[in-house]
Each structure stands twice: as C-alpha cells, then as structure tokens.
A = this chain, B = another copy of it.
C-alpha cells in the first residue's frame, strides 16, 4: 500500500476553496426559532445587520484578505438546505416538542438563500452590511461571524510550520480537557456549547463539543449549533436574541410604544413557543427598567437569560423579581451565557447552587481559547469581540443599551434618547474581552 495517496495529496494542494460555512444548519438554533416568528409576524420588515468589531486595535481588514472573505461569503450564499437537513428539521423533536416548525415555514425555508452583502474597507476595518428583509438578513449573523473568525485564525496560522501546528492543537486540546476536568467537579451542572459565532474553526468547535460529550456526559445538555446537534445527536439549544426587541423598538412610533417593545416581543414569542423556550432576555435596554415595568405575567415565564450584567448580581436581581411576584426561584431557570470561563462558571454555580435552576451557555472561551498554545505567541489567535447586530429596521436606527455600556450598539444620539427613556440604573461598565 503506498504511503502517500497521490490523488488526495494533489486534491489537498489544489483546493480552490476550503469552505468555512458548508451548511445553512451551521448556525445557532435560536436563529431558526426567531426566523419562524419573523417570517410569520414581520415578513415585510426590512432590517440591516452590520458587523461590529469591538476590538478596535485589531485591524481586521489588514489581517483578512478581502478576496478570501468575498469567496467565503459568496460560497455561503450558494448554499441551500439539503433534503436530509429539511427532513431532520421537520422530524426532530426540539425542546420536547414535535413539529416545532410549521410546514409552511419549512416550505419557505427549503428555498432559502442568504441575501446579498455589502463589503467595503475603512480605516483597516471591514464595513460589512446585510440589507433586505429581516427574515433574510437575520440569517447572516452567525455565518458572517464564523467566516470572519475562522479566516482570521487561518491567516494567523499561516506563519506556523507543521510541528508548531501540532503543538498548538495539542496544547489547545490539553487546555480544553483541563477545563472539562474542572467542570466534572460540579455535580448538578447543566452546560451547553454556545460557541459557534466566535469559534476558532468549525472542526475545532466539533472537537470541543466532542470533548464535553465525552468528559461531562449528562451535564452537557447540547449545542446551539444546529448542524453539530444533528451530526452528533445532541439537543439543539437556544431561544431568542436582542434583535427582536431592537427591531421592535426601532419600529416604535411613540415613546410609549418604544417602552412597551420589550414586552411586545414576549407576547409575540409566546404566540409561537412555550415551555422551556419561554426565556426572557431582559437586558436589551437595561434589566433594571425592564423588571420595574414588567407586567406580572413575565414572572410566569420559565426563566431569564441575563446576558450583560455581572452574573451573580444579575441573577440575584432576577430572583428578587420572582420572589416579589410570589414565585419560588427553585422552580425557575437562569441561563448564563455572557463571557463565561471555567472560573465564572464555578463561582456562579456555587453561588446559586440550591437557590435556582441554572444552565450555562459557554461560548468563546470554549471554542476559541488558544492563549499560550502556539510555540511562539501569535496575536491573531487571540479571540476578539466581534458581533453582527441589527443596525436599522425599516430605515430607522436600531439600538441596544445592555447592562454594560461597553456592549451598547447604535448611533450615539439615538442611544442617548433611549437612555433618557429607559433610564440607566444599575448599568455597570465591564471590560468586554470576548
């Protein structure tokens, strides 16, 4: 048997493109849940999504070749859901519910393709916008981010020889496994992979998911990545995101409508979903105001996902809200998903143990932690805080305030207007590293 498979070697070296996004299911599950609702309730709303690199000192346009970026974005646009994928979406049980996707929605989805993109360079950064119908542009968020992040890792790794790459991945694996071993010590832990958007690469995310599956067993509840969920028989997890209140707020015609937008979103949501999918994301315009103005039925929802407040303070505040409404937090669920690493997970877990049900959605520090892994430090392998956010809806600017002013997005004047209206109580500035 020859040592080298000549055909494979030639094929490997003659690759035109190594696609980063190979399936429309290679996205976060919440995008599909939201999409069905947007398709049903807001089919005519336009929404623009825009790339935002919060690490200004990292010049993405210098690190990533524009030609390569276009090729990857073009390739993603050429993908359709495959027959097998459509059958799986229709036949699989999500969150304990059969046929969560309506046949009419799936019919529409079968022909879905990602819409056009607008790419320019300015000041060493890419300006990347997706204009069009909300129910089309929304689907760009995850592939756009995954493409940007993986192209950046690939560029960074070009300086490494085969041995250095071997050491890099060996160390990264050893590092993930050391984290897994720490998590194993938390007996009631429920944790899932939320790391698609910022992953080092698709293959690396898959390895991390396999490591959690192998290492912590039942404590690993699933992955937000729909493709990985399908391929590895895991639960696909996730509920809703800031784009819902952001768009509804942008569309509001009066201040009253704007103040009501966060609750309107919840009404919309529960017209589609129930049970464990009833998770409130309270921080789009500040959790404090959200809780103060919330109608009592918000306390009936299954849980909250505090996404920008410090986890312990943020969680305590929500438990206070539940108690005020006569709910026992032990029947309720808190989902933590903001900038988690093992230490935050351990501290949060120990703080809330026995007081409330908890789940963790672990992102960037799971799927893109390569610090001190290369034999000689490679800057481009350090994860950055890059997001793809809705920037306008029907031509009106969209804004997120967040509990952490560092995570606010939108036009500064518009942010001021929102702050005047919603207030800025209990917002805490925390460094956003990932």
Contacts and interface: CB of A to CB of B under 8 A. Distances in A.
A375 interface: yes
A166 interface: yes
B171 A177 contact: yes
A375 B166 contact: no
B177 A173 contact: no
B11 A7 contact: no
A167 B214 CA distance: 11
Contacts of A11: 1
Nearest to A1: B11
Nearest to A214: B163
Interface in A140-172: 161, 163-164, 166-167, 169-171
A215 interface: yes
B5 A164 contact: no
A122 interface: no
A128 interface: no
Interface string A261-297: 0000000000000000000000000000000000000
A16 interface: no
Interface string A204-216: 0000001100110
A84 interface: no
B375 A163 contact: no
A375 B1 contact: no
A419 interface: no
A221 B375 CA distance: 21
A391 to B, nearest CB: 41
B210 A163 contact: yes
Given A7-B1, A215-B375, A375-B215, A170 B163 contact: no
Interface string A187-211: 0000000000000000000000011
Contacts of A169: 170
Contacts of A211: 163, 167
Contacts of A8: 1, 5
29 contacts: A1-B7, A1-B8, A1-B11, A5-B5, A5-B8, A161-B214, A163-B210, A163-B211, A163-B214, A164-B214, A166-B173, A167-B173, A167-B174, A167-B177, A167-B211, A169-B170, A170-B170, A170-B171, A170-B173, A170-B174, A170-B177, A171-B173, A171-B174, A171-B177, A173-B174, A174-B174, A177-B375, A214-B375, A215-B375
